[in-house]
Amino acid sequence: MNYFKTAILLAALTALLIIIGNMLGGTNGAVIAFVIALAMNFFSYWYSDKVVLRMYKAQEVDEREDPKLYSIIRSLAQRRGLPMPAVYIIPTETPNAFATGRDPEHAAVAVTKGIMEILNDDELEGVLAHELSHVEHRDILISTIASTIAGAITMLAMMARWAAIFGLGGRDENNNLFATLALAILAPIAAGLIQMAISRSREYHADEGGAELSKKPLALASALEKMENYARRKPMQNAREHTAHLFIVNPLSGEGFASLFRTHPSTEERIKRLREMAGQGH
């Protein structure tokens, strides 16, 4: 179901790009904006793992340095037939985790120091299974595609705003200035909403995949509840807004934002779904 939802949302983003491109800049305008956005996201796709790990001062560990963490990840990866990812620890007390890397062969799983202190072994396994589900389903690639299309839409909208300001109009002489400005303002908002919906859909899917892999949906639900409660009391101090979507729970805390603008689903809803999975015997 989440695969279908993601496909529909990506199709909606693509359709929005085509519509905006044709209305504001013609086919050539849409192609140019897409190529520029693609070039901007190329670096992100290939090198974002190194950048984000360095940003959070993550330290790579091996089996000798942290045998429990390494053993759990290796066991889960073998169970799913995935290559062993690089393992990192982030030196912060806020409990959280994320996975990154362009594909399963170049993946990394990072956990904070705090997560090792507040979660029991079953809960930790559930979290790590969630992250390996992101790796298995190439969610970094999916998010990069969504970012590229949304970026192209934003560029087209920016071009349209400048054209309207300087009275250049659009392709059609009958284009209405106010309609063009309205479209230029609303299109990036719509693209952002769709992009965030894709992010939320992938989180639900990783919860399902993690629960299936670990066979412990209730443990994952318990881990999410603990991490969410901690994040609300004490958000991660060095967290960056543009990387918040990578973490299993929002490190900045989701309070104060409308649900449509969240990169993460409601933790309460995620817990409810996991408990339903447990009730169904999964």
| pLDDT tens-digit profile, the chain (282 residues) | 556 767 787 788 777 777 777 666 666 766 776 777 677 667 666 777 788 899 999 999 999 999 999 999 999 999 999 999 999 999 999 999 999 988 899 999 999 999 999 999 999 999 999 999 999 998 877 877 777 777 778 877 777 777 666 665 444 444 566 777 777 788 888 888 888 888 888 999 999 999 999 999 999 999 999 999 998 888 887 777 778 888 999 887 654 444 556 778 999 999 999 999 998 544
Residues 61 and 108: their CA atoms lie apart, in Å, by: 11
Torsion sign across C-alpha atoms 37, 42, 43, 49? positive
Instruction: Confirm whether 117 is a catalytic residue.
Output: no
The catalytically annotated residue of 60, 63, 125, 131 is 131
Distance between start and end Cα atoms, the chain = 17
**Hey, what's the torsion of the CAs at 255, 259, 261, 267, to 10 degrees?**
70
146 within 8 A of 195, measured Cβ to Cβ: yes
Domain residues for the domain of 269 are 2-279
**Domain tally, the chain:** 1
Residues β-bridged to residue 7:
none
